[in-house]
Amino acid sequence: MEIRDKILVVEDEKSISNFICTILDANDYKYITAANGKKAYAIISSHCPDLIILDLGLPDIDGMEIIKMVRSWTTTPIIVVSARSREKDKVEALDLGADDYITKPFGTSELLARIRTAIRHTRTSILSKEIAQSGKYCVDGLVIDYDKYRVYIDGVDSNLTQHEFKLVALLGKFAGKVLTYDFIIRELWGSTQKTDNQILRVNMANIRRKIEKNPAQPRYIFTEVGVGYRMIEGD
């Protein structure tokens, strides 16, 4: 028998949790629901779900608190559901350790794609934390060669500087996941300067001019306005 991933849906709006569960059921996932934070917390500690879909606006506990509590003892992937135009919430949730976010209103395929990415990432990162940093990442004509510190587009070296390579490599390592500006800056520069992401963005603009045909219609690295960047995920 195939082992089905168990997903916890934390959502207080019954109609929304209903349709999420219908989607999950139709796509061979097991699901549990929790309508408030306390119940969610109890289920997380007793059932150990493989993934948590978390609405930030719960009646009893702030969603951010739940992320903090869960992250203090487990790496179970968390996908945050939030309304658009609240990009600060998204950034905060991601920085607290949420794995991804999805914006209401969302479609079936978008939700399923996020779930697959999040589950795969925790699996690979547990098995091979180091392997991702060597070898190659290939997607759609783009090759990141971690051993040679080079990025190739359709076989042609794109002449990235060392810094630019580090940025692309980082995004490649977490392909499919949004990385916030703060996270990238901390990883690359080790600096805690919170507000200034201009250098990062200028770097990104330069990279796009080297690896994308049209920097305004990127194929590989996408901007999530107000949040950060996301590298396209390979198959």
Q: Which residues lie near other proteins (CB under 8 A)? A: 84-85, 87, 105, 198, 201-202, 204-206, 208-209, 214-218, 222-226
Q: Which is nearer to other proteins, 194 or 201 (CB)?
A: 201
- 63-71 helix and 87-96 helix, angle to the nearest 10 degrees: 20
Question: Which amino acid is located at 185 in the chain?
Answer: I
Please report which helix (H) or strand (E) contains residue 117, including its range.
helix 108-127
Residue 149 in tokens: 């510190």
46 Cβ contact partners less than 8 Å away, ≥ 6 residues apart: none
For the four alpha carbons of 89, 91, 94 and 95, in that order, the dihedral sign comes to: negative
3-state secondary structure of 146: coil
Task: Work out how close the CB of 227 gets to other proteins at its nearest, in angstroms, rounded to a whole number.
Answer: 10
Task: Work out how close the CB of 204 gets to other proteins at its nearest, in angstroms, rounded to a whole number.
Answer: 8
Q: Which is nearer to other proteins, 204 or 231 (CB)?
A: 204
Q: What is the widest separation between alpha-carbon atoms in the chain? A: 55
Q: Which is nearer to other proteins, 87 or 187 (CB)?
A: 87
Residue 29 in tokens: 């996932």
Q: Which is nearer to other proteins, 36 or 206 (CB)?
A: 206
Task: Work out how close the CB of 205 gets to other proteins at its nearest, in angstroms, rounded to a whole number.
Answer: 4
Residue 100 in tokens: 């991804």
Q: Which is nearer to other proteins, 42 or 83 (CB)?
A: 83
